[in-house]
């Protein structure tokens, strides 16, 4: 994620970063600009005296459809943002339950060996989940001391180890029934965080919507020059480019935001969240 | 569900899959195109000198109504997507509670016979729910070893068997009160998942909305050529077809997405979720 | 509720059921059609040469206000649908907690007399709530065997009887503290379902919104013919009728959906839900 | 709150109640009508032959801004309605937890003196919260028998008294640990209801939005006659009045709905809810 | 936060406070006004007879894009408001759990020394969180008596101290298992409030949306005078300024509202909430 000050308007308007949709769309914009110029050239020079009046009014269609398309793009923006923000909430829950677990274990578990075990395991859970979500199979940030199989589902193994140790302490009589329940409230959140992150990662927006929005933008922009080149002449070239820029940008940003656990510029700062969890668990459970 | 890379724009725009709304709407589009051509022919040749000016302005109605109709279609899109996404969340909860149940039983229940019982039952719950939702009465993926009646509600029987065994272990003294509560937290989610899935499956959008949206699209498209054929001539034919394509596609996709537990291309990958649950429960509760 | 296949487009478009808004609005539509015809007749014949140009542009107002009105109608549609869907969720919770209660009591309570008591009471709760919500004071579907006063709040009495029996068993030592907590989780949902259903039933959308939307539709449609009859001639008659049909239908459907516990065609299938609960509780708690 | 039948269209359209926005806006509407008339008079008589063409097109701005303004008003309507409906949900929770508390205490607490104490306290909580939210400092509906200080936060005192008594019974051994937990689930909702009601009451929509929407409506309506009086002549007077009526009504209704705990016509029926709670608690905990 | 009476329309419209977007945008508005005047001057004097007709129709683009832009701005407004309101809900939870914790400790903990400890700690938690969120490192409002390190995460230390003391009392036998669970329900909310506040503070809207909206407003306003100066002459100057005012204001307000824990005029009244918590905890836990 890029940290930025949202109030620097001038920087925003004139700087084009690598992830800026303007640069990524540039080849497409130039292509469509050339296409619009050709359409305008043919219409203005060869059709000028014939069906002039009729084809000019095709633009009526674009105002009706522009409306549907705009609302569809905002629907797309909304769903993508909701996933991104839900992803952030999920990792916020992971922070909360890691902290709560650490501060409760600190109070309930006096034995230094157990405390070391929990301290390592809780921090490792966040790192393991991060590597799991990114398909980073070597889990290099995990302490090799931990006895974990890289083949099975790693976060599940850690959650099982944490609950197993807590349950063992309960059966030994070191933890009362009340303390077991208090700790279980937090441990079950670990698995829920994993399930919810996997859900967001593995379920993009339904295939037909994704196809339909792209086809719709394409047909819309490709038919624009026919209706507008009589009205606008060659001004239709920048106009069609600007409209394509606006609409395709919305779709592009939505695609990038939709899966927020990667390493793109707009993805969530989950590396930083992992290190925060490690730091705070270390403070709370020394 | 189709797995796809949302960034392949060119593939999306030019490939027409079987479930693509374009192909499904093709006969209707051709029919409406012919109709629009006839209306334009009659208007342009026989009415050209009479009420020309007046009928041309009927198009004003279409801009007012186009607005209402667009917003209604986006409302429809939203509600359908919300059901689809809620369905995904529900099956995500099933994944979470199956995993949590497995890892907790692994810690609390040492007896191998009990563990086998729970391992089979938890995996079977997901498969039983899938068959139940799809009206697949023979439940062929269930282990025939399990003592379940195919006539009564199968998922309920499995949930009852799981809780019954846990409660029995509690009454025998193998599980403490704390452990009973910890396990109950997960078992009650099983029934909630079933109830929520049945709710989505059995409750489509209210009948009158469904009727009204379809009637509205129909009236809208059928009256379009009257107002626009004076302005556009025979260009009205592709224009009406494109507008019908856009609007009817939204309604068609919404219908398909609305009940997400089937086997259509856009439905949720619940087969895969079932197999994942089986695999992870096997890993956690060996 | 009407069960229907949402994919039968042709049936939807050409069949007019009793609850169809088209038939219910027909007298109003004819009245407004006559009114629009009169306005057009007067304008075209008596004002044709005077202020022609000025009154024609009054239509500008209708495009600005058409926008506000459309968004208001979609807001109305959204809130009505949200209540309907929330009502469905609430009754889904009732199904879930009835099933969970039955399967847990089956495991915890061995005594046949107690089991009969709970079986009758849980099923009766759903029927009692249905009659309560419909103001059906004789509660004819309740087993007359049950000792319930028809004057006090019947669902509350049943919930109190269920909790009372569970608590009695706990005090007698038949149910452990853990089992009491497990059962209480479900019993408290019974009262929450009742409270939430009463809330939806007794709280329509704020009075001023309801008044304002109706006044707004009325003024909008009544002023339409003034601005448009110069442009459209007598075509203004079907145009105004179609616009009124679209807008008033949205308000009419919203009114019907908003209170979903009645017996209208679009209301929730709560009769069927009650019978399902009775059937499944019977299966689970034999 | 006004109880009404939402299907009486004719009554709604032609009756103007005291709280109707039409009457409240009447002076403003007349003022703006006079202003629009003056602008039109000056433009039509003194500017008619000079910059006619140019000023006429200022109306283009109003269609672009009309769009932003409409969406902003619907945003305003949505947030105000959400607060109103959240307020209703909160008081629904109070109903639920009062009933649940009464029916559980009825089962767990046999001593008549304790039961009288809880019956009085639970009913008083709702009345005390109502008076607290309305700034009604004398709390006249509270039983003067209760030992409460009018200076400190009264609902907090009642919640503390209820929990204190329950905890005392637990420490005396009359209530088991399970029963304490069952009762605590409901008691903590009391404080949450108070906190949530105070939040809605004390936090209006951010100041700048409130200012901005009002300034925007004002500038929009004040500049309308300049662009439209060439097109519409003196018809601009009713047109501007109607547009102001529509937009200012939405803002006015939102202001009234936003804080739903007062005694205005559209506020929530919290008096009636208090009496219902008193009645039902009396029935459940005799 | 500014306390205001939302019904003072005249004050709102004519008073310009320091935080009013009108004053903050004034330099930009003047600059854009001058630019629009130059464009209009060049177009009207030098291009008047050449491509007049064509460039005039460039305005068509602005109606299509105006639509997308308006919806994007409302999306922005919605997300910013949702964060602001979620921030308010989070601090409402802090109020609720502080009160609940105080009233429960008052009942469960008789020892005056423990009560003093909890009274100081609960109030300090709110102040510590406030300073933490504002980056106010000296935590000057905390009682220096408390043994807290300013270097580690201060709210976490307080939560750990509260849970540690409660757990210690449980292990000593002063608190039963039931009481431990009752108190834990509230203590875990403390950490959740901190995590949720940090999430809102540290996660602005994705960088690309923020950039894209600003670029879009800029391009839109900069190209407006080209299309409209033929239609409007020099009236284009105030028109472009008004449109920029409306659109940039929405973005500016959203930026300010988005992070609601600062000390700006529109931020949440968290100072006041802290003092309320301190006062009510003092009343409840004397």
Ordered per-residue pLDDT tens for chain C, 286 residues: 455 555 566 566 666 665 567 777 888 889 999 999 998 888 888 766 555 567 777 878 888 888 889 889 989 999 999 999 999 999 999 999 999 999 899 888 888 999 999 999 999 999 999 999 988 777 777 776 677 777 888 888 899 999 999 999 998 888 888 888 889 888 989 989 999 999 999 888 888 888 888 888 888 998 888 888 877 888 889 999 999 988 988 988 888 888 889 887 788 888 999 999 999 998 888 8
Please state, in angstroms and rounded to a whole number, the distance separating the CA atoms of residues D271 and E1.
31
Q: Look at residue A2 in the predicted model and tell me its pLDDT.
A: 52
Is it the case that residue A64 has pLDDT exceeding 90? no
CB contact under 8 A, C209 and D280: no
**What residues does each domain of chain E span?**
20-47+54-78+207-258, 85-203+270-284
Using a CB–CB cutoff of 8 Å, tell me whether A274 touches chain E: no
Q: Look at residue B17 in the predicted model and tell me its pLDDT.
A: 62
Report the residue from C2, C22, C95 with minimal CB separation from B207: C2
Confidence band of E150 (pLDDT split at 50, 70, 90): confident
CB contact under 8 A, C6 and B255: yes
Mean pLDDT to the nearest integer, B205-219: 86
Please state, in angstroms and rounded to a whole number, the distance separating the CA atoms of residues B117 and B112.
9
- Range A159-168 burial, b when 16+ CB lie within 10 A, else e: bbbbbebbbe
Q: How far is A136 from chain E (nearest CA, A)?
A: 24
In chain D, the residue whose alpha carbon lies closest to the alpha carbon of E227 is D60
Residues contacting residue A186 through CB under 8 Å, at least 6 positions apart: A97, A100, A101, A104, E188
CB contact under 8 A, D215 and E12: yes
Contact D220, D73 (CB under 8 A): no
Mean pLDDT of chain D: 85
Inter-chain Cβ pairs, chain C and chain D, closer than 8 A? 176
Q: Which of D206, A270, A78 lies closest to E205, judged by CA?
A: A78
Higher-scoring residue by pLDDT: D133, B4: D133
Higher-scoring residue by pLDDT: B197, B138: B197
Chain E hits for A93, CB-CB cut-off 8 Å, are 195
| Three-state DSSP state, C154 | helix
ipTM of the complex: 0.89
Please state, in angstroms and rounded to a whole number, the distance separating the CA atoms of residues C226 and E274.
60
% of chain B exceeding 70 in pLDDT: 90
In chain B, the residue whose alpha carbon lies closest to the alpha carbon of A52 is B232
Using a CB–CB cutoff of 8 Å, tell me whether D239 touches chain C: yes
Using a CB–CB cutoff of 8 Å, tell me whether D48 touches chain C: no
- Range A85-115 burial, b when 16+ CB lie within 10 A, else e: bbbbbbbbbbbbbbbbbbbbbbbbbeeeebb
Q: Look at residue A219 in the predicted model and tell me its pLDDT.
A: 86
Mean pLDDT to the nearest integer, D75-94: 92
First to last CA, chain B: 31
State chain C's maximal CA–CA distance in angstroms.
96
Confidence band of E232 (pLDDT split at 50, 70, 90): confident
| Three-state DSSP state, D148 | coil
* Burial (0-12, 13-18, 19+ Cβ within 10 Å), A44: middle
Residues contacting residue E172 through CB under 8 Å, at least 6 positions apart: none
Chain C hits for B68, CB-CB cut-off 8 Å, are 70, 73-74, 246-247, 250
Please state, in angstroms and rounded to a whole number, the distance separating the CA atoms of residues B70 and D97.
43
Q: What is the pLDDT of residues E51-70, one digit of tens each?
A: 556 777 787 888 888 888 98
Inter-chain Cβ pairs, chain A and chain B, closer than 8 A? 178
Please state, in angstroms and rounded to a whole number, the distance separating the CA atoms of residues D158 and D174.
21
Pick from D4, D5, D69, D107 the residue to mutate for testing the C interface (most C CBs within 10 Å). Answer: D107
Pick from E156, E211, E217 the residue to mutate for testing the A interface (most A CBs within 10 Å). Answer: E211
Contact C159, C191 (CB under 8 A): yes
In chain C, the residue whose alpha carbon lies closest to the alpha carbon of B224 is C239
Mean pLDDT of chain B: 85
Chain A hits for B95, CB-CB cut-off 8 Å, are 195, 198-199
Q: How far is D130 from chain C (nearest CA, A)?
A: 18
Of the segments A126-130, D203-207, E4-8, which one has the largest average pLDDT value? A126-130
Q: Look at residue A165 in the predicted model and tell me its pLDDT.
A: 92
What the block records as the tokens of D142 is 């509270």
Residues contacting residue C235 through CB under 8 Å, at least 6 positions apart: B54, B55, B57, B58
Chain E hits for D170, CB-CB cut-off 8 Å, are 176, 178-179
DSSP letter, residue E20: -
Is it the case that residue B229 has pLDDT exceeding 90? no
Rounded alpha-carbon distances, angstroms, from residue C257 to B200, B214, C204, C216, C247: 17, 18, 11, 21, 16
Chain A hits for B85, CB-CB cut-off 8 Å, are 79
Confidence band of A14 (pLDDT split at 50, 70, 90): low
Contact B269, B87 (CB under 8 A): no
Report the residue from E85, E104, E181 with minimal CB separation from D163: E104
Q: What is the Cα Rg of chain B in Å?
A: 27
In chain B, the residue whose alpha carbon lies closest to the alpha carbon of A149 is B283
DSSP letter, residue C137: T
Is it the case that residue B1 has pLDDT exceeding 90? no
DSSP letter, residue D210: H
Q: How far is B26 from chain A (nearest CA, A)?
A: 15
Is it the case that residue E265 has pLDDT exceeding 90? no
Q: Look at residue A138 in the predicted model and tell me its pLDDT.
A: 74
In chain E, the residue whose alpha carbon lies closest to the alpha carbon of D210 is E6
* Burial (0-12, 13-18, 19+ Cβ within 10 Å), A63: middle
Chain E hits for A247, CB-CB cut-off 8 Å, are 68
Contact E150, E139 (CB under 8 A): yes
Q: Look at residue B11 in the predicted model and tell me its pLDDT.
A: 61
Dihedral angle, C-alpha A42, A48, A53, A59, nearest 10 °: 30
CB contact under 8 A, B107 and A180: no
Q: How far is A66 from chain E (nearest CA, A)?
A: 6
Q: How far is A45 from chain E (nearest CA, A)?
A: 15
Contact C62, C224 (CB under 8 A): yes
DSSP code string of D57-85 = TTHHHHHHHHHHHHHHHHHHHHHHHHHHH
Report the residue from C74, C85, C100 with minimal CB separation from B191: C100
Contact C123, C114 (CB under 8 A): no
Q: Look at residue D259 in the predicted model and tell me its pLDDT.
A: 85
CB contact under 8 A, D20 and C208: yes
For chain D positions 147-206, those within 8 Å of chain E (CB to CB) are 152-153, 156-157, 159-160, 163-164, 167-168, 170, 176-178, 180-181, 184, 188, 191-192, 194-196, 198-199, 202-206
Mean pLDDT to the nearest integer, B187-210: 88
Report the residue from D51, D67, D207 with minimal CB separation from E4: D207
CB contact under 8 A, D68 and E249: no
Please state, in angstroms and rounded to a whole number, the distance separating the CA atoms of residues C268 and C90.
11
């Amino acid at each position: 994620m890029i940290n930025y000050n949202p109030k620097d308007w001038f920087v925003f308007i004139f700087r084009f970063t690598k992830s800026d949709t303007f640069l990524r769309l540039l080849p497409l914009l130039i292509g469509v600009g050339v296409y619009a110029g050709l359409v305008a050239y043919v219409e203005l020079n060869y059709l000028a005296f014939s069906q002039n009046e009729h084809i000019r009014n095709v633009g009526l269609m674009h105002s009706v459809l522009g409306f549907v398309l705009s609302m569809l793009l905002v629907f797309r923006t909304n769903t993508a943002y909701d996933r991104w923000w839900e992803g952030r909430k999920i990792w916020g829950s992971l922070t909360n339950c890691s902290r709560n677990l650490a501060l409760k274990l600190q109070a309930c578990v006096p034995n230094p060996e157990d405390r070391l075990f929990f301290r390592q395991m809780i921090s490792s859970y966040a790192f393991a989940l991060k590597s799991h979500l990114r398909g980073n199979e070597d889990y290099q940030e995990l302490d090799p001391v931990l006895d974990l199989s890289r083949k099975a589902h790693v976060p599940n193994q850690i959650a099982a180890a944490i609950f197993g140790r807590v349950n063992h302490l309960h059966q030994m009589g070191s933890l009362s029934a009340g303390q077991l329940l208090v700790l279980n409230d937090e441990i079950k959140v670990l698995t829920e965080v994993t399930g919810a992150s996997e859900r967001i990662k593995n379920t993009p927006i339904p295939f037909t919507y994704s196809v339909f929005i792209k086809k719709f933008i394409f047909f819309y922009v490709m038919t624009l020059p026919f209706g507008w080149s009589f009205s606008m002449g060659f001004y239709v070239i920048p106009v069609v480019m600007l409209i394509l820029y606006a609409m395709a940008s919305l779709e592009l940003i939505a695609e990038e935001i939709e899966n927020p656990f990667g390493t793109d510029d707009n993805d969530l700062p989950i590396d930083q969240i992992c290190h925060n969890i490690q730091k705070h668990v270390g403070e709370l459970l020394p």
